[in-house]
Copies of this chain bind each other. A is one copy, B any other.
Amino acid sequence: MAYRETEKMRMRKAEARQRIVSCAYQCVAKSGFHSARVTTIAAMAGVATGTIYRHFESKEDLFAEIFRLATQREVDKVAEALSTQGDATVRLEAALRQFAERALRGPVMAWSLIAEPVDPKVEEERLAYRQAYAELFEKAISEGIEEGCIPEQDARQSSTCLVGAIAESLVGPLSPAQAASQAEPINDNYEPLVNSILRFCIQGLTGTRR
């Protein structure tokens, strides 16, 4: 035997893989899973099309990894916001703000994660993603119920409403504007919009006027 995989090679391969992942991520963030082409990703990453298939079984597998990555970031941020000081309502508000602001800053990716139709393997990841959120919010809502700052309710169902209200608030604006406003970050000042959404969400949860 004359060839043995060496550290240097392992590194180089890892770098290529990383570059592929990063470019795929950018493509998805720019226009969603559906329009992300394997060929384009390869070109961006400076490798041949076939090389993608040395690192990933299939497009689906690559995308599943992208989904997982993107998801992890989002869920972590929300979990972080939920684990700060304050009563459940305050923590939930912080978490929802985090969720909404991040979604508004990257609406295409947010839409891809929440609602874009994707292949089965990616859909599986989405199930995990939904459950991660559902569990996080559910836990916080349940804590709020125990603390007494949130009235009795189906925590899982409320969590779904929260995600939906926020998602629709950004998917709606996204759809028609697409070509026109996609180039720019749409709007610098999300504050009023986010406040408006949050007021609705928190009222929906607590039934207390804000």
Interface residues of A (CB under 8 A from B): 32, 34, 115-117, 123, 126-127, 130, 151, 153-154, 157-158, 160-169, 171-172, 175-176, 193, 196-197, 199-201, 203-210
Contact of A154 among B176, B196, B204 (CB under 8 A): B196
Whether B193 and A157, one on each chain, are in contact in the complex, defined by CB atoms closer than 8 angstroms, is yes
Determine how many copies of this chain the complex contains: 2
Residues of B close to A176: CB separation below 8 A? 123, 126-127, 130
Given A157-B197, A164-B171, A203-B205; 5 other pairs, CB 8 A cutoff: A123-B176, A160-B169, A165-B204, A168-B168, A207-B210
- Distance in angstroms between the alpha carbons of A210 and B204 in the assembled complex: 10
Contact of A168 among B127, B160, B204, B205 (CB under 8 A): B160
Whether B175 and A168, one on each chain, are in contact in the complex, defined by CB atoms closer than 8 angstroms, is no
- Distance in angstroms between the alpha carbons of A9 and B151 in the assembled complex: 65
Smallest distance from the beta carbon of A60 to chain B beta carbons, Å? 16
Contact of A164 among B166, B175, B199, B210 (CB under 8 A): B166
